[in-house]
Amino acid sequence: MNWKSYYLRLPGHMERKRFTLALLLLPFAYNCGEQGPNTQGPVAAPYPTVEVARRNVEDVVNYPASIEGKVNSEVRAKVSGYIQEVLVDEGEWVQQGQRLFKLETQSLSEEAGAARARMQAAQVEVDKLAPLVAQGIISPVQMETAKANLAQAKSTYQSLMASIGYANIRSPIDGVVGTIRYRKGTLVSAQDTQPLTTISSIAEVYAYFSMNEKDFIGFIRENAPENLGQMAGSLPPVALLLADGSPFPHPGTIETISGSVDPQSGTVRFRATFPNPEGLLRNGSSGTIRLIKNLDGVLVVPTLSTFEQQGKTFVYLVEDDTLRAKSIEIVTETNGLTVLQGLQEGNEILAMGVGKVRPGAKIIPQPASIDSIVQSFDQVFQ
């Protein structure tokens, strides 16, 4: 029917009523026509899926560590004087007793010469009075006074000679020279706030790291023997990554654990000892302690298959080719895998594309292996 023609033939007020009726019937006529729209729903797209599996995995936890030499000895001046010579350089290996600095001793030498002369004069006086006392010519009191003067002169001379010896500053231990803070011509003394340098014994080093209270509780439950006081000595070896990310070739041993939780940071401090025969580790170095825990027969999915929403973690279960969001509890994440609770072995989940779909969406499952999904994620970020 030609609605426009019909409307034009209507007279007066009937024309407006018929026109209104025509507008109301127009959508019905359009839907019944041969040119109606396509009423098909959204087309299901193919997506990779994986099955929840049980595996034995290694859970690796990293903690930043600071490195210190097992012995760090500050080198300080015992007497005041100008540095005349610096006999070593930073980073140099030195032996115990080796000279490091030489202070100017001219004034001390002059004082020592005068003291030696006084000592010799006092000795002459004692030698002169000895026979007179023996003959009773003079009082023994005079002899005692002469001997006291001699003793004082010797003490002064020996003290000055010791100070001259202190002007040759030597290494207290075998080790490596640290930062040299003062150079030739600098006036130094025993009252200086900064040491001349530090000698570090680095044949063995300490690695200090801290663990938060939650991790520490789990660590104790997993590793504590019958006697907690003996726990540190019974722990398995720990690994260390160097500052460049490469592994340190020698395992370390946890030797001490702080007896209290730091109220400021909420952490517990650990100290591990590492042998350092190659000298790769220096006092003040940084690294990363790696604690490895074996988890046997745990449920895993690719981390790429999980997503977060409102503070919870979810995966998409695939049921009759339809997606259903399912919340999970994460135990840990390691090497691209998420160890979880809340699913069953064999459950099929969406492997990739969790950000492109919504609950209730239909998909065409494309079964894949967990390893292929993890490896595809690693390749993207290599």
Question: Does position 215 have pLDDT exceeding 50, yes or no?
Answer: yes
Residues 182 and 245 reside in one and the same domain: no
CB of 273 closer than 8 Å to CB of 205: yes
Residues 240 and 159 reside in one and the same domain: no
Model pTM above 0.75: no
For residue 258, what are the contacts with CB-CB under 8 A and spacing of at least 6?
268, 269, 270
Is residue 316 in a domain? Answer: yes
Task: Kindly write down the DSSP assignment for every residue of 274-302, as one continuous string.
Answer: EE-TT----TT-EEEEEEEEEEEEEEEEE
Q: Which tokens is 231 given? A: 């726990």
Q: Which of 164, 198, 232 is the last residue of a domain?
A: 198
Question: Three-state DSSP class for 366?
Answer: strand
Domain count, the chain: 3
Q: What is the pLDDT of residue 14?
A: 44
Q: Which tokens is 344 given? A: 């069953």
Residue type at 285 in one-letter notation = S
Residues 109 and 135 reside in one and the same domain: yes
Q: Quick one: average pLDDT of 70-94? A: 92
Q: What is the pLDDT of residue 224?
A: 65
Higher pLDDT among residues 108 and 126, named by residue: 126
How confident is the model over 85-103, as pLDDT tens digits? Answer: 999 999 899 999 999 999 9
Q: CA–CA distance from 285 to each of 23, 67, 270 (Å)?
A: 84, 5, 17
Residues 152 and 214 reside in one and the same domain: no
Confidence band, pLDDT 50/70/90 cuts, at residue 48: very high
Determine which helix (DSSP H) or strand (DSSP E) holds 331, and give its type and residue range. strand 322-334
Q: Quick one: average pLDDT of 178-203? A: 93
Q: What is the pLDDT of residue 18?
A: 43
Structural domain containing residue 345: 47-57+295-380
Q: Quick one: average pLDDT of 241-269? A: 92
Residues 209 and 181 reside in one and the same domain: no
Q: Which of 139, 168, 198 is the last residue of a domain?
A: 198
Question: Does position 165 have pLDDT exceeding 90, yes or no?
Answer: no
Confidence band, pLDDT 50/70/90 cuts, at residue 329: very high
Residues of the chain above pLDDT 90, percent: 55
Confidence band, pLDDT 50/70/90 cuts, at residue 233: low
Residues 85 and 182 reside in one and the same domain: yes
Q: What is the CATH classification number for the domain harbouring 121?
A: 2.40.50.100
Question: Does position 269 have pLDDT exceeding 50, yes or no?
Answer: yes
Question: Does position 35 have pLDDT exceeding 60, yes or no?
Answer: no
Mean confidence (pLDDT) of the chain: 85
Q: What is the CATH classification number for the domain harbouring 338?
A: 2.40.420.20
Q: CA–CA distance from 1 to each of 27, 29, 30, 66, 159 (Å)?
A: 14, 10, 12, 89, 130
Is residue 166 in a domain? Answer: yes
Q: Which of 264, 294, 324 is the last residue of a domain?
A: 294
CB of 349 closer than 8 Å to CB of 317: yes
Q: What is the pLDDT of residue 182?
A: 93
Residues 89 and 175 reside in one and the same domain: yes
